[in-house]
Every structure is written in C-alpha cells, then in structure tokens.
Amino acid sequence: MKLYCDITLPASKSESNRALMIAAYGGFAHDFQNLSDSKDTKVLYEALVSIDSMPRTVPCWNDMHTKASFIDIADCGTAARFMATYLACHPGDWLLTGTERMQQRPMAPLVDALRSLGSDIQYVENEGCLPLRIKGNPVAGGKISVDMTQSSQFASSLLLASPMFSQGLEMELLGELSSLPYLDMTIAMQRHFFAQVERQGRMVVVKPQPYQPRPFSVEPDWSAASYWYEMAALSEDCEIRLYGLGGPSSHRPFDGLRGRRVSRTTCLQGDAVIAEWMQQLGVGTFVDGNDVVLRKIPFEKRPLHFDFSFNPDLYPTMVATCAGLNVEATFTGLDNLALKESDRVRAMQKELAKLGKPSLHFCAHNDHRIVMALAPLALLYGPVTFDYPEVVEKSYPNYWIDASFLPVNR
C-alpha cells in the first residue's frame, strides 16, 4: 500500500504528566499548551483534582476503625508512582490503589526511599505493590538512594517533589539506569519551571527553590510517532507528514534543519531515537518547517541490533517492523518489559507467531502499545481483528481515526 497522509499526533503524556505534577507542587494553575488527552493524563489530573475536593472515603482494609481517602489510579503506572510521593507530602490519610495488573507492578524502591525520608507508608495486601496506606505529612528532604533498575519513575517521582523540600534533596541513583532519558526529561522540565536541579552521573542534587509558573508547550509524542515510522517502513511508498514534530519550542533546543534528511531531532523525549533506528529499515526523516515528513529511502537488509534499556516503549514497534520486513535483529535491554501493562516480550512473541495464518486475530493483552504495533502489519497480511482495540485510548485516543485506512476490523 502507498501511504500519503498528514497526521496530528497526540501530545506527549510523559511531558503532560510531569507538567501537571509540577503545577500541583508549585500551587499554581497550569498554563500549558497541547496537554495530552490520553487516558493516563486524565487519570492523573482527576486524582490531583480529587485531593482538593471532598474526598471519597472507604474503610481501610487493614484497620476497620479508621477511614482513608481513596485514590484509584486505574492502570496508570506513572500516576501510581507520582501520586505515591504527592500523597506522602500532602497531609491526610490516603489509600492509593489501582487495577489488578497495577497491583502487580513494583512500588518497593519508591516506598523504601520515601520511608527513608520519614514518610509513613504501609502495604495493604502484597509487599512491594499497591494498594498503599499513606499518612501524609510535609517531607523535609535530605540524602537518599533510589534503585532505578525496575523503573526511572521512582526517581522522577521524588525529583518532582524535591524543590518543595525544606532541605532540598541529594539522590544517588542505584542499579541499572533504566529509561534514563525519562529522568533527564524530568530534570529538564523542572529547570524550565525555575527549579535548581543538577545531575552528575549517578548523583542528582536539588536545592530548595520552589517552582514558579511559566508557559509550557507539550511536544507531540515521539512514542506515538513510532507507529507511523512502522507504517512507513511496511508501505510500498509513502509521504507521511507529522505535524509539529520537528518544530522548535520554548523549552528545548532545536537544530533548525529545514527540508533536509536527518537521523534524529533534539527534544525532551528519548524515543526520538526512532528516527535513527528506522533509517536502518528504509525510512528517512525530513524536517520541513515545524513538521517531520517520512519518506522511503534505500536500505540494505543486514542483521541489526537494538538496545531498549533507555527506550522500552519502542520494543513492540521495532520487533513488529523487523518481523514484517523479515529483517534479522537482536534485541537487548528487555528486562523491564515484563513489568509494563503486559509482559511485552511474551505478548509480542505470542502474537507474531500467528503471522501467515489465513485469519489474523490478535490479543491486545490489555496493552495499548501491543495493539498499535501489531495493527500496521495489516498492510502486509490483510485484515486483522483485536479483542480489545479501544485500549489505545490509554495514550493515543485518535489512533483508529488517524489509521482508518488500515484493514482492521474492530
């Protein structure tokens, strides 16, 4: 299929979620342009709003004589990590919970760090996971260490709160520096709102200087862009314009290239590396004003290697693309993929094993990125179906509208 289309990508939910937390800690109304309309961002926003309104209370499961204000963050991992610190700093008695899958995802490194700062947090059911009983009080800050092996969100959660600590924060990053670009995104956004944050290797130092309001424009989401790179790679020919993806903004530098092929633009999001990776699979990235245009370019089929240690969300996209193009590739940095909305390695192995069957019905595994990575394969294999196509609302609510040309029966 030949693809010629113009696409308005969703706003980055990673940037949006951090911006909402900064505004909440700073105590100012947000002045943000292009805030994400994803389910994840809506869940976080509603949780923050509910804290300032009349709380809904339920009996706490381990103490029927007291009540805790109930915060349900559904299946949003970012909200779970960010809200745990926010509630620990916010006076009150809180019960933080989520879906069954969310109650299986790790929280212990963050809880351990908060406890070391004096926070009162108890596990209600299973050790290391939601639900959490949190008795919030002001946090003074100080020196801590945080294990980054399972997620960078633990460290980001603490950093977002730290400018409000009376003693600031000195944080040592332990273990594998998983998804490090997301931590650097947090730091860059903190600086945009006048926080004094410095990272030198594994040490991050934050001075006690509160956030100040400032306009902020959320960038289009590079993780969402990855699915359009995949469609470009699997197409016969294409010219796909992604609006705003190449444009400068007030909060990050830009190389200013215009109408020239580039391997990668400079932005807050580490997943912009998709431009460099997909160049190896025949997709050229061209900057045209504020937009990025994807076109086919020659490429040589050869064994490739991709490391997802810093960019785990790109794994489903890349493995589906390589499978569709029949390109041999080695994938490393997969340890944390079992801790996402699904076990993404197993999920993709199971679904890609179906390729070549006369009728393709894919399981969503309750994972938005699994669905959006598998759908473009319909360009090669014909009509496909999903058991839960609406899961894409978690990060890209308009995915099926934008990709309506795909032969996907929903």
Measured distance CA(365)–CA(159) in Å, rounded: 32
SS3 (DSSP) at 226: helix
- Alpha carbons 241 and 344: distance in angstroms, whole number: 29
Token pair of 12 as six digits: 């980055």
- Beta pairing, strands 216-217 & 32-33: parallel
- How many of the other CB atoms lie within 10 Å of CB of 332? 10
For residue 286, the surrounding DSSP H or E stretch is strand 283-288
Choosing from 271, 313, 367, 402, the catalytic residue is 313
| Cα torsion through 343, 344, 348, 350, rounded to 10 | 0
d(CA 132, CA 111): 9
Q: Which two tokens stand for residue 81?
A: 């990590």
Distance (Å, whole) CA 77 – CA 84: 11
Query: Is 271 noted as a catalytic residue in this protein?
Result: no
Chain-centroid distance of CA 226 in Å reads 13
Handedness of CA 228, 230, 231, 232 (dihedral sign): positive
Task: Show which residues are catalytic.
Answer: 313
